[in-house]
Amino acid sequence: MIKVTYIHPDGSEETVEGREGDSVMSTALAQGVDGIVAECGGSMMCATCHCHVDPDWTDRTGARKDGEEDMLESAASPVDEFSRLSCQIKLTPELDGLRVRLPEEQV
C-alpha cells in the first residue's frame, strides 16, 4: 500500500493508503477524503480534482500531462507551479508518503 497525505485548506491532515496504479484523486474518493470533487471521473475534462503537490515531491510526481495545463485554467482556486490534477498522478511505490495540499474551492 502507498501512503498519501492530503492537507486541507485549514491545515488539518489526513493520511490514507492507496493501491499502486490508482490515482491520487480516486484514492481520496475511495477513502472518503473531502475536498476533491472529480466531476468528470478522471477523463481530464474538468478541474475539480485540483491539488498542489508538496514541493519536496514534485520531482517524483513528474511533469504535468499533455493537456493538463489547459484544463487547470478552468480551476476554481488559484493555480501555481505545484498545481496538478490529482486524477493524473498515478500511485507508484516511489510515491509512498506523498503529500498534496487541497485548494479552498473546486467548483
Partner 1 sequence: MTLIEGHRPVTPDQSIPVWDTDPYDPAVLADPYPWWAELRERGEIVYIPKWSAFAVGRYEVTKTTFSDHEVFVSSRGVGLNDFKLGDPWRPPSIILEVDPPAHTRTRKVMSRALSPKVAKGLGEQFRAAADTLVDALLERGEVEGVSDVAEAFPVSVFPRAVGMTDVHKRHLVDYGAIVFNALGPDNAIRRAAMERAPEVAAWINAACARDRLTEDGLGGMIYAAADEGEIEAGEAAMLVRSFLSAGVDTTVTGIGNALWCFSRNPDQWEALKADPKLIRPAFEEVLRLTSPVHTFCRTADRDTEVAGHPIEEGAKVLCALGSANMDPDKWDDPEAFRIDRKPMGHLAFGAGIHGCVGQNIARAELEALLGAMIERVDRIEPAGDAIWRPNNAVHALDRLPLRLIAK
Of 25 and 99, nearer to partner 1 (C-beta) is 25
Residue pair 44/71 in contact by the 8 Å Cβ criterion: yes
Instruction: Take residue 105 and report the three cell numbers written for it.
Output: 474551492
Q: Note the helical H segments in the chain.
A: 24-30, 58-61, 68-72
Question: Per CB under 8 A, which of residues 56..85 are in contact with partner 1?
Answer: 66-67, 70-71, 73-74
Per CB under 8 A, which region of 7-15, 41-49, 52-60, 97-105 contacts partner 1? 41-49
Nearest to 91 by CA among 36, 13, 12, 16: 16
**Which listed residue (21, 41, 55, 78) binds partner 1 by CB under 8 A?**
41
From the CB of 21, what's the least distance to partner 1, in Å? 11
